[in-house]
Structure 1
């Protein structure tokens, strides 16, 4: 079974990758951050932290964002 790295660098990279996938999809659909966080029922700061990769996102938050973007949540989690 693989082990996680001892430092938090891996986690930061993964959070950033999820945020990047959210941002790419949002921009591809020509939508603003505001249109996404309002439709998902999130605060501006919570959404911005997820999209920037600055904070861990709850599964329920990712599900809401995925629904608004019209994608399956797994599309946000993998390349």
Structure 2
């Protein structure tokens, strides 16, 4: 077990990394953000926020992973 850092500066960095992986996978599949948000039945802005590394719900990430047909672990590595 390891201790958390004294500040939360590492969290935005991790969220950005997740967003980058979502964007990379979406583009790899030749999909637009519009196609993803419509298939995932979430708001367009939500997909934009995820890819920008903003705060995201686990359920949103699960929906996106489902639509992209990738394990959620792939997006969270």
Q: TM-score, normalised by structure 2?
A: 0.93
**Which shifted more, 22-31 or 2-11?**
2-11
Match of 1:26 in 2: 26
Q: How does 1:49-64 map to 2 (within 5 A)?
A: 49-54=49-54, 56-64=55-63
Moved beyond 3 Å, runs of 4+: none
Give, in angstroms, the shift of residue 4 of structure 1.
Answer: 1.8
Deviations 1:49-73 (A, max 9, x none): 111102x211111110000001011
SS of 1:16's equivalent? helix
Match of 1:45 in 2: 45
- Root-mean-square deviation (Å): 0.9
Unaligned runs of 5+ in 2: none
Match of 1:70 in 2: 69
